[in-house]
Amino acid sequence: AQRVTQPEKLLSVFKGAPVELKCNYSYSGSPELFWYVQYSRQRLQLLLRHISRESIKGFTADLNKGETSFHLKKPFAQEEDSAMYYCALSQFSGGYNKLIFGAGTRLAVHP
């Protein structure tokens, strides 16, 4: 079954420390993976997707098909990075597409 696993509910770091939010997936096919973010009192929004290979707000994520992982990384965390982060897998079949989300990891960056 298609599944996304985020093993950490909470990740707490100090400002300037490196951050790695873990995401593992199971999918039979070629996966499309995303990171969505929800800042306090804001709506869920797309942060980045693996096909674009961009760095957004200093975050990067590399798809590792061998380890079935899509970890989100940032070398130096900022306080404004504190938010809820969701890894998601896009499934397109039967004429519709849906996102399969992990349970999310709360990142808390302390001054």
Partner 1 sequence: ETGVTQSPTHLIKTRGQQVTLRCSSQSGHNTVSWYQQALGQGPQFIFQYYREEENGRGNFPPRFSGLQFPNYSSELNVNALELDDSALYLCASSLEVGFDAGELFFGEGSRLTVL
- Which residues form the interface with partner 1 (CB under 8 A)? 4, 6, 9, 32, 34, 43-46, 49, 86, 88, 90, 92, 94-104
- Please give the distance of CA 58 from its chain centroid, rounded to a whole number: 13
Nearer to partner 1, 28 or 96 (CB): 96
Q: How far is the CB of 19 from partner 1 (least distance, A)?
A: 19
E strand spans, the chain: 3-5, 10-14, 19-21, 24-26, 32-38, 45-49, 60-61, 72-74, 83-93, 96-101, 105-110
User: Are residues 77 and 35 in contact, defined by beta-carbon separation less than 8 angstroms?
Assistant: no
Nearer to partner 1, 76 or 92 (CB): 92
Q: How far is the CB of 95 from partner 1 (least distance, A)?
A: 5
Q: How far is the CB of 88 from partner 1 (least distance, A)?
A: 7
Here the tokens at position 80 are 């404004």
Nearer to partner 1, 8 or 32 (CB): 32
